[in-house]
Chain A
């Protein structure tokens, strides 16, 4: 084999490695999802496991403050109550209302955040509109519940949890104008 042929063969192999690594970058996407699922991180829009049969801790009350935002989205989005008081371990339901103000169907996804942040893992959602994407017809109004339990393991110094939902538009779906 001449030197030129050897050089070309080696360079082809290296080019295949480079192409493979380009694919590897994309393979990290599903791999990352699997790792997160296996480790139980990144689960804020996943249904919590059904609560074990725990006692309601009537000695404590926790104030839940509700907040709702639509990010760059022509939706009016609000909770029907601004705050409520629950005991840890008690099943509670709140309702939200969204109105699509755009003359076209729009798909959105809600993402929750919590203040203080560490309260998030104790706010167990059994039913939530954030589990799926929501598609609203033009002008449609929809009421949606969130069913939740505060884990009695909530640290004692947390008396108030702010729960804030933000709807983001899912681009490319539901007729982005």
Chain B
């Protein structure tokens, strides 16, 4: 039963009546975790392209001072939608795609626990994405309130805001259903002998991420529901005139928003924890401490939210509490970085593309972690709040952290998924282009922020011109480099060299050791035997 799947979704040579059906209906009605994983990955790439185009628009306007291409209203809409689309449309679905493809194969399960629910979790997403994009064409345009959707601005926006609120509801629903599915799969469907503490770390990080999603996405749904009733039904949750408080919105939002940061980061940690041991040809250093560190990060993430809002006028006691709690996050994160470095120590390293992205992650993410530590200090944060320093900080952890981890994972697993190798030389060129242009965009934004350039404003003082021009050139380069990535993936699917079962000699999880390449359409219908 070897069903080789090409890029058009047709199946060749299936000698098994359970093979995928042909045509578009295969993708609409599929309940196969691998198909759904593929759908998530392609959806994520499309949203990544749309969000990336918006970023290029933002940088185009900021290339030189003054207003050239985009009026301020549209600029605000672009920054808002860029954030929402990248967070909810690109980064979260790419890791759900990994989860769908990899978790059943890594724990020796035949599929996800609720296969039809899985189909529905995915197919909610295109509708949400359509609502988000449609909001641009509504009277008043898309909301220009920033991706955080702070009250009271949200109450003043046009109908595009309502579309965005419904989109967030649907995205939240999709995430919650997907998470319930993932938790149930991991807890109930592991192969005999696959104890919790023998699971690959990628599975562990997803288990913890899924719990975070179940606990926090409903809170976001509550926050946007309150916004909706404030807008249309005469409630005054966030309206000071009716006894409400706009600052309350920020508390509720960030109660979701900070765990959300780790929802984005943790699956990336999981990918890196698979890739670094494989290319160091050594088992992961400190497996148990990695599990505990991941759990600790997840728990602490619930008590640090107000560090996003030091400037709202909270009492000093509150600021101190949130400052110390935030600094505490550095401890388990430090454990993880230490373990990754210790895994490489005295390993026999090789530097194929997945490892390059993993190392890029390690350096850049740690840098982003350090600037996060700087921002956790209240008096410093009050200076840097809402400047480009913050923009630089979170792009180091979101792009060089989560996105690099996603690239690393795609290059790592694409031989198993497609049965073909990607072009190693082009992959390495993609890495170096991405790394250089990424730093060109965002490293200089640290200087802009320290010099006081505020974020989310389409114009700036003349003294910021040079760094902004450099940053914008970097953005154009980074955008073009991602076209190379698309080319590499398409080329791999169509005409890559056939890949062996274990293309990476150091990789030791079940999908490499027990399954042929490409992974058959159905795997582990009888559970594997683990020694």
Using a CB–CB distance below 8 Å, which chain A residues touch chain B?
3, 6-7, 10-11, 14-15, 17-26, 28-29, 32, 36, 39, 41-42, 108-109, 111, 167-173, 176
Contact partners of A173 in chain B: CB under 8 A: 234
Contact A32 B251, CB 8 Å, known A7-B184, A21-B218: yes
Main secondary structure of the interface of B (DSSP, over half): helix
For the complex, is B371 an interface residue (Cβ under 8 Å from A)?
Answer: no
Whether B184 contacts A28 by the Cβ 8 Å rule is no
Check B176 against A18 for contact (C-beta < 8 Å): yes
Please give the distance in Å from A153's CB to the nearest CB on chain B: 18
Contact (Cβ within 8 A) B241 A168: yes
The answer to whether A28 touches B313 (Cβ under 8 A) is no
With contacts A7-B114, A28-B248, A168-B239 known, is A18 near B184, CB below 8 A? no
**Most chain A beta-carbon contacts within 10 A, residue among B187, B219, B241:** B241
Of all A-B residue pairs in the complex, the 8 with the closest CB atoms, nearest first, are A172-B234, A25-B222, A168-B241, A22-B218, A109-B241, A21-B218, A25-B219, A14-B180
Contact, CB under 8 Å: A18 / B218: yes
9 more contacts with CB within 8 A, not counting A25-B226, A176-B234, are A7-B189, A10-B183, A19-B218, A22-B222, A25-B220, A25-B223, A29-B248, A167-B241, A171-B236
Residues of chain B with a CB closer than 8 A to A176's CB: 234
Nearest B-chain residue to A39, judged by Cβ: B315
**Total cross-chain contacts (CB, 8 A):** 101
Q: Is B242 an interface residue (CB 8 A)?
A: yes
B214 at the interface (CB under 8 A from A): yes
Q: A7-B113, A10-B187 known; A18 and B214 CB under 8 Å?
A: yes
Flag if A170 contacts B218 (CB, 8 Å).
Answer: no
A28: contacting residue among B183, B239, B255, CB under 8 A: B255
Residue in B closest to A20 when the chains form the complex, CB atoms: B218
Which of A6, A18, A39, A168 interacts with B240 by CB under 8 Å?
Answer: A168
Residue of A nearest to B180 (CB): A14
Tell yes or no: B465 within 8 A of A by CB: no
How distant is the Cα of A16 from the Cα of B233 in the complex, in angstroms? 27
Of A6, A22, A41, A172, which is in contact with the most chain B CB atoms at under 10 Å from its CB?
A: A22
A41 engages B314 (CB within 8 Å): yes
Whether A11 and B252, one on each chain, are in contact in the complex, defined by CB atoms closer than 8 angstroms, is no
**Chain A residues positioned under 8 Å from B215 (CB to CB):** 17-18, 21
Chain A residues with CB under 8 A of B314? 41
Report the bound CA distance from A36 to B314 in whole Å. Answer: 9
- A18–B377 CA distance with the chains assembled, in angstroms: 33
16 pairs from A and B in contact (CB 8 Å cutoff): A3-B188, A3-B189, A7-B113, A19-B218, A21-B216, A22-B218, A26-B222, A28-B248, A29-B248, A32-B245, A42-B245, A42-B247, A167-B241, A170-B241, A171-B234, A171-B236
Chain B 12-65 residues near chain A, CB threshold 8 A: none
Asked whether A29 and B237 contact (CB < 8 A) given A7-B184, A11-B180, A18-B214, the answer is yes
Which of the residues A6, A28, A109 comes within 8 Å of B252, measured between beta carbons?
Answer: A28
Taking the nearest CB of chain B, how far is it from the CB of A17, in angstroms? 6
Residues of B within 8 A of A111 (CB): 240-241
Q: Verify if B217 is at the interface (C-beta below 8 Å from A).
A: yes
Least CB distance from A75 to B in Å reads 13
With the chains together, A173 CA to B236 CA distance in Å?
11
Q: Chain A residues with Cβ under 8 A from B183's Cβ?
A: 10, 14
Cβ of B221 < 8 Å from any Cβ of A? Answer: yes
Cβ-defined contact, A25 with B218, below 8 A: yes
Given contacts A22-B219, A32-B251, contact A108 B214 (CB under 8 A): no
Contact B114 A11, beta carbon cutoff 8 Å: yes
Interface string of B186-215 (1 = CB under 8 A from A): 011100000000000000000000000011
